Amino acid sequence: MKIELLYFAGCPNHGPARELIDAAVSELGIEPEIEEIDVQDEGHAERLRFLGSPSIRVNGRDVEPGAESRTDYAICCRMYRASGLPARELLLAALSGKD
């Protein structure tokens, strides 16, 4: 299993997103490969299909349902339903293969 944490330098939610990932993998007792990707510019954002910072993908798939249909790639802060982080349940579901 591979988890990607995509962010831009200076993102205030980068650290909390990593903490969320670390807590989730600890809770599930798994040891995935975790890669942090610093998205450098708009071209990089487009190539990576970056929807804003932070974005979390499990095995290449965004943890937010429906994200694959979005095309608003940019160096920006990402907002989820209630905050600048995905809900813990979304991450746990993606890690458990229940998304």
Axis crossing angle, helix 14-28 with helix 88-96, rounded to the nearest 10: 50
| Predicted confidence (pLDDT) per residue in 1-37, tens digit | 999 999 999 999 999 999 999 999 999 999 999 999 9
Q: Does residue 99 have a pLDDT over 60?
A: no
pLDDT of residue 97: 85
pLDDT of residue 10: 94
Domains for the chain: give ranges and CATH numbers: 2-96 (3.40.30.10)
pTM: 0.94
SS3 sequence of the chain: CEEEEEECCCCCCHHHHHHHHHHHHHHHCCCCEEEEEECCCHHHHHHHCCCCECEEEECCEECCCCHHHCCCCCCCECCCCCCCCCCHHHHHHHHHCCC
